[in-house]
Chain A
Amino acid sequence: MKKLNLSGALISTVTFMLLAGWLLGIRMEPSSSGLKLALADEQHLKWLFIGMAAVFLSQLLHPIIFGNRKAKASSKKFSFKLPSPEQNPKAYRLVVSFALAAAIVWPFMVSRGSVDLATLTLIYVMLGLGLNVVVGLAGLLDLGYVGFYAVGAYTYALLSADGFGFWMCLPIAGAMAALFGFLLGFPVLRLRGDYLAIVTLGFGEIIRLLLNNLTHLTGGPNGISSIPKPTLFGLEFNRRLKGEGFDTFHNFFGISYNSQYKVIFLYLMALLLVVLTVIVINRLLRMPIGRAWEALREDEIACRSLGLNPTVVKLTAFTIGAGFAGFAGSFFAARQGFISPESFTFIESAIILAIVVLGGMGSQVGVILAAIIMTVLPEMAREFNEYRMLMFGLMMVFMMVWRPQGLLPMSRPHIELKEEAKA
């Protein structure tokens, strides 16, 4: 028989009352002598008591509910595993081809809104995968990732105004963000853990403030609008020829104009970028540099004792991670057609970080899954939009309790030894 957690429950309830009481229990009322504090109305007090009861009961019953769960979890290990490329190449290829085929065919069968949402999801996938390199693999807590995303977006927006095309700008935007990552990485990577997190948070904000205040260059809070959309080998997806393209898509192929084409094209492009990102990061993981990142996350002192220069290893992770954010940013600018500093607030960094943590640090499939959850769920639960951040917080808390390792924790690449292979 599990013991009830009575004292813990009482403490939690009192804490809750103190914290929530300020917000819900007390009201300010105008009176003759200025403002006056008064007890809140019945409705709010009711909610407060319901909340207290919920906290009390959940804390009281916590050992009973979770105690068993933990025992079960440890006795039976999580067994679902995706086939890894080394252990079962055929199954792996099959799964990947099916997933890819489905992702390509899918937009032709659903509504325009769904495709649009999917494109947004893919941008987050890209961001998640990039941040995963920094946080999940190299173990550097970067809270200013959105800064590099912004650098990529503004690079494209500004260059396109000078007449450069999207495909030309994409690598430049990536390189530019990587350069920023490199320059910012230099001074901050000596710091560890929490300190690094705080400084990167600051850098993210600095970049946003710069964008806000360099009005002559970035348009300040008004942002930059009418950023041209990407073209397909010079074919535009507009009704009439607007930009640099030599013809419009529908005219060239002799079909009637349909705004759906543009949405699908953008989706497919995002998909292409995501697939490239996945391939590159997958290669990186199996390269010396990828292994060095993980080793650094595991034990920096051991790394040094083996001749790895921690600063260089960290800097590559930071730079490459920033580069991916730059790609995502330039695509975001192209898709949106309009960007302003509003799109690059800290909350974006937090969401991307949540995607990485939710997915399982270091795991690519996990990150993709988490990105889908994090973008699609809020859309499906539109009515609860005001509670979005609340649900977000709840989800994180529950994840930490149930699966602190993330949805799909990373599995190690299996490395075949020569003689084993022969046998």
Chain B
Amino acid sequence: MNPLLEVNGLTMRFGGLLAVNNVALSLNEKEVVSVIGPNGAGKTTVFNCLTGFYKPTAGQILYRGEALQGLAGHQIARKGIVRTFQHVRLFKDMSVIENLLVAQHRHLNTNFLAGLLKTPAFKKSESDALAFAEYWLDKVDLKEFANRKAGNLAYGQQRRLEIARCMVTRPEILMLDEPAAGLNPKETDDLDKLIIDLRDNESVSVLLIEHDMKLVMGISDRIYVVNQGCPLANGKPEDIRNNPEVIKAYLGEF
């Protein structure tokens, strides 16, 4: 079976700094794959290259056999690859539900006249979007806050909203950059369940950056380890856990 996403020789250079050096990874359908590594290893930079926010210096990114490198960020998102950010990036002054409506922009009826005249087709598309947003609000347990300003939510809720906002774009690949950072243990548990639910019931593939090893080891199908921009190891969680090099560079002795 061909992988959904295949990355080869990805390299990103900032002046003299080689932030990402020859990284390769692949992601199959309905898989959770994690990228781990010490701070400053270049994990977020890999994400930025994959989602078109940086233009990689070299390398190939194939999504269903189609080359993505060089496409703009919004074009890649439209193909079904969306991400969250290490620092939450919600539309803070807009309500929770509006955040989810904006994300569905390209699935909506954006015809100017249809909107001005409130044609039946327009109303239908808006109410469909609302229903879909509601479905996801329910899933991330934020329904009662639908009309609250996104910026006023608690931190954990903001993180969940960010995931929901990605999901309403109907993605195939969801990329999460440290989704558990700043969450309490209960919230981390919920996040664990949510990601498994996304993979099993919503059939998205998840690419995950995370420092919480319990979470990573528990849900990952495969793990890639990056260190100082270079790939260090990859494999199943148990292989990674026992890999002496990974222990030395990142995990430390338990």
Contact = CB atoms under 8 A, between A and B. Distances in A.
B240 interface: no
B51 A305 contact: yes
A257 to B, nearest CB: 40
Given A302-B85, A307-B74, A307-B78, A418 B106 contact: no
A283 B110 CA distance: 12
Nearest to B118: A283
A299 interface: yes
A417 B98 CA distance: 12
Interface string B79-99: 000110100011111110111
Give the interface size class of chain B. 35 or more
B169 A289 contact: no
B95 to A, nearest CB: 5
A412 B112 contact: no
Interface string A404-423: 00000000111101111000
Contacts, number: 117
Given A292-B102, A301-B53, A306-B169, A412 B90 contact: no
B146 A417 contact: yes
A288 B52 CA distance: 24
A305 B93 contact: no
A226 interface: no
Given A288-B110, A304-B73, A306-B169, A415 B98 contact: yes
Contacts of B90: 298-299, 302
Interface in A99-153: none
Interface in A353-397: none
A287 B93 CA distance: 17
A423 to B, nearest CB: 11
B73 A294 contact: no
Given A304-B77, A306-B165, A298 B130 contact: no
B101 A306 contact: no
Interface in A294-319: 294-295, 298-299, 301-310
Nearest to B95: A412
A301 B101 contact: no
B157 to A, nearest CB: 17
A420 B130 CA distance: 12
B177 to A, nearest CB: 11
A255 interface: no
Nearest to B146: A417
B115 A287 contact: yes
B103 interface: yes
A418 B131 contact: yes
Interface string A153-183: 0000000000000000000000000000000
Contact of B94 (A289, A294, A305, A309): A294
Contacts of B1: none
Given A301-B53, A417-B130, A307 B82 contact: yes
A348 B83 CA distance: 43
Contacts of B97: 415, 417
A291 interface: yes
A412 B134 CA distance: 18
Contact of A306 (B77, B109, B143): B77
Given A287-B115, A304-B73, A417-B143, A412 B169 contact: no
A288 B168 CA distance: 14
B147 interface: yes
B122 to A, nearest CB: 8
Contacts of B199: none
A1 interface: no
Contacts of B101: 288, 291, 415
13 contacts: A287-B112, A291-B101, A294-B91, A295-B99, A295-B102, A301-B85, A301-B89, A303-B102, A305-B51, A305-B89, A307-B82, A412-B95, A415-B101
